[in-house]
Structure 1
């Protein structure tokens, strides 16, 4: 899979992915609006080109409060995200080429007020989805939010994902309805963040095109 070319799918305004991106952007905007005064930390797993966060921050009143780390394996996508951040004057945003599954890459940024897990759950097996949600108790600050996505192809895992979050101290804040093929969810952490378990890999990125044979 060419993950740089894959990002071009967001350019079709009528596609489910483009609609999902618009929804994620709006939820990021609302989350930033609701954050308390002071520095804000944001981490993004499998961030791609940062089309979600890097579209919202320019012009947002909290932009200069944000320190963000975008973790993405494809160096071409990382380069595009870094250039977009620089051109927008977002000096607190860094994009790194690294395996987003390795918790070491969030050291110094976790726990964060906003954790983006977009485009991840539809590309990994169920056990890794649960492990990633469990790791969100290390990545997310008390009162912080996780914004996540998952397609609703059969078997629909959105209800199970909600259950996994909610048994770990997350409160469901908002989830798209069942008629939307590309679901977006927001869960707010009401618990206390756990220490970051360095050296831990929480998922293997299988890819949605290979996932049915892997589960």
Structure 2
């Protein structure tokens, strides 16, 4: 089990020069693009292991489609969900649902899947390679055709990013954006080009084990 304190982990976001802060800016830019691209009407968003919700909430605070977004942020640490819920309330985002629960369980997303935007940030570096691939497979059920999946993963050895991109391609996703290998972080955006498969109830997509070397 990971011994990371996931509340303290967020402190690096407050340093604009940190790798985590730079990664956040890259993710938020892709979130903004994904929202900009959606047609008129409701935009469904699900965020797995959402932490304090900065990936999404930092964009929605001033995005013109903010009231079109119906989102669910699922995070296990109640200290982080408290921060996320307070931020959503302060921005008057009544359609953002913050849930304190195990984000790996498909049951939390059944009523919103397939979604227009799926956030899987902060996950792929903390689960086994096999679970990374398993989670990507479930993204084919979480994400609607034309929707976007955003993910993060460190670029340290062994670099799993090429295999992640290959797996998404095998599951009918087109690579839209990938951070440079020397950026100090890995961020990817893939757009679904196929019909979503049904998202099965009662399944566990991954198990957190801590930083994978």
TM-score by length of 1: 0.96
Q: How far is the alpha carbon of 1:58 from its aligned partner? A: 1.4
Shift of 1:85: 0.2
Cα distance in structure 2, aligned partners of 1:75 and 1:179:
34
What are the within-5 Å matches in structure 2 for residues 1-215 of structure 1?
1-208=4-211, 211-212=212-213
| Equivalent-residue separation in structure 1 for 2:154 and 2:62 (angstroms) | 30
In 1, the alpha carbon distance for the partners of 2:171 and 2:23 equals 25
Residues 127-177 of structure 1 deviation map (CA, whole Å, 9 limit, x = unaligned): 000000000011000100001111000011110100000000000111011
Shift of residue 181, structure 1, vs aligned partner: 2.1
Cα distance in 1 between the residues matched to 2:210 and 2:74: 17
CA distance in 2, matches of 1:36, 1:98: 31
How many residue pairs get matched?
A: 210
Moved over 6 A (4+): none
TM-score (norm 2): 0.97
**CA distance, structure 2, for counterparts of residue 10 and residue 18 of structure 1:** 5
Which ranges in structure 1 are unaligned for 5 or more consecutive residues?
Answer: none
Report the CA distance between 1:113 and its aligned residue.
0.2
- The runs of 5 or more residues in structure 2 that have no matched partner are none
**Secondary structure at the counterpart of residue 196 of structure 1:** coil
Q: CA RMSD in A?
A: 0.7
Q: Secondary structure at the match of 1:192?
A: coil
Secondary structure in structure 1 of the residue aligned to 2:62 = coil
Instruction: Single out whichever of 147-156 and 6-15 deviates more from structure 2.
Output: 6-15
> Aligned to 2:157, what secondary structure does the other structure show?
coil
What SS does structure 2 have at the residue aligned with 1:121? Answer: coil
Return the offset for 1:197.
Answer: 0.7
